Amino acid sequence: MELTDIQPMGKWIELEKKIIEKCRIQSVTFNIEGARITDYVKWSNRICPVIKGSEKGGPFICAVAHMNMASQAQKTRKAVVEECDAGILKIVVPIFVKDEFVGTAGGCGRLPADGEVDTFMINKTIGIDEKEIEDLVDDMGSMTTEEAQECADFVESEIKAIVAEFEAGQQ
């Protein structure tokens, strides 16, 4: 089953926009292969597009974090809130239809309230100067543990409603 079997692409984009508005993070919906299903992008900071747009940043920072967290979310059937290797918060919520794992929704792009971006790691991975990294993150928003959990809970409730509506239409 594909995510677009559950609801049309436009509805997934609406979900991403709701997550952006509620949580102030870059929201994304992924299929089970870890590929984003929409082309809607609204960055929540200035460093993530630089990381994601680099030759190594996307595969070695973003994708690794997503695949590890998506696997954990699939196994536990619960939202996962952790930092990627760059020190940026990521929220991954599993999407199940009955017992079938069909993807994830969530987002990333803010710092933990007491955290900081790992400029050394970003520098070594994508090769940009640490001073440039510091300039890109100087206005980056943060999230408390409670805010991150509230965001994860919001995404979970939205996903539950989407899946319930789909399953009701299957009877």
The beta-strand segments (E) located in the chain are 26-30, 80-83, 89-97, 100-112, 142-143
Task: Give the residue carrying structure tokens 């409730």.
Answer: 157
- Which tens digits make up the pLDDT trace of 104-118? 999 999 999 999 999
As a whole number, the mean pLDDT across the chain is 96
What's the rounded Cα separation, in Å, for the pair 79 and 96? 12
DSSP 60: I
Q: What is the pTM of this model?
A: 0.94
What's the rounded Cα separation, in Å, for the pair 4 and 109? 25
DSSP string, 63-92: HHHHHHHHHHHHHHTS-EEEE-TTS-EEEE
Please name each of the domains of the chain with its CATH number: 3-160 (3.30.450)
Say what the pLDDT of residue 171 is.
63
Say what the pLDDT of residue 169 is.
87
**Nearest-10 Cα torsion for 67, 73, 74, 78:** -170
Mean pLDDT by 10 residues, the chain (171 residues): 97 98 97 96 96 94 96 98 97 97 98 95 96 96 97 98 94 63
Which is nearest to 94 in space by CA: 62, 58, 64, 66? Answer: 66
